[in-house]
Amino acid sequence: MANAITRMHWAAAKARRHPRYAAHYVRRPKRYVLGVRISGIVQQSVTPTDDTLIDGVIQGSVEIKSPANVDLRGSIQGSTTVESGARLVITGAQQGSVTVRPGAHVLVEPTGKLTGSLWNDGQVVVRGVFAGSQAGMAQIELEGAGWIRPPDEILPDGTHVYRW
């Protein structure tokens, strides 16, 4: 156990001193005042079941289970599923497909971006920007300065292209 902790501290120190090693060092979730805090680069699937703050980058799928409240200040680069009874607040960026189950809530704050395909059977409120395709039984609710960005280009095969 002591060797594992020593190796972990050594890897963290090496990542701080040498940026080229930073991509290989993955931080583990840490506790913060309201629950779990995920920072740094995480290259694996994540399943929050408690109050969680994501201020890093997750490169993988995320499945948010009830009764979790997730505050996304960083970014998720992959698919996200919000289960019934769970809540996702986006002040950062979600890049990839999002599935919102019945009874689930997603709130995109004015600084937030939700990009990719959306399957919405729950409640999605956009105060920021949404760009992508949408399907499901529920509609997106726009509030304040929230808007749905049209594609910059539609290719002959029907692919929508967005340039940020």
- Of 15-29, 39-53, 131-145, least confident by mean pLDDT is 15-29
Q: Which helix (H) or strand (E) holds 76?
A: strand 75-77
pLDDT of residue 12: 52
- Tell which wins on pLDDT, 31 or 92: 92
Portion of the chain with pLDDT greater than 70, in percent: 79
pLDDT of residue 136: 95
pLDDT of residue 162: 86
pLDDT of residue 1: 41
pLDDT of residue 163: 86
pLDDT of residue 36: 86
Mean pLDDT value of segment 126-146? 95
Mean pLDDT value of segment 56-73? 94
pTM for the full predicted model: 0.77
Question: Residue 32: which pLDDT band, with cuts at 50, 70 and 90?
Answer: very low
Q: In what order do the strands lie in the sheet with 113-115?
A: 41-42, 57-58, 75-77, 93-95, 113-115, 129-131, 147-148
Spatial contact of 105 and 121, defined as CB atoms under 8 Å apart: no
Question: Residue 35: which pLDDT band, with cuts at 50, 70 and 90?
Answer: confident
The candidate with the shortest Cα–Cα distance to 51, out of 36, 38, 29, 64, is 36
- Tell which wins on pLDDT, 156 or 33: 156
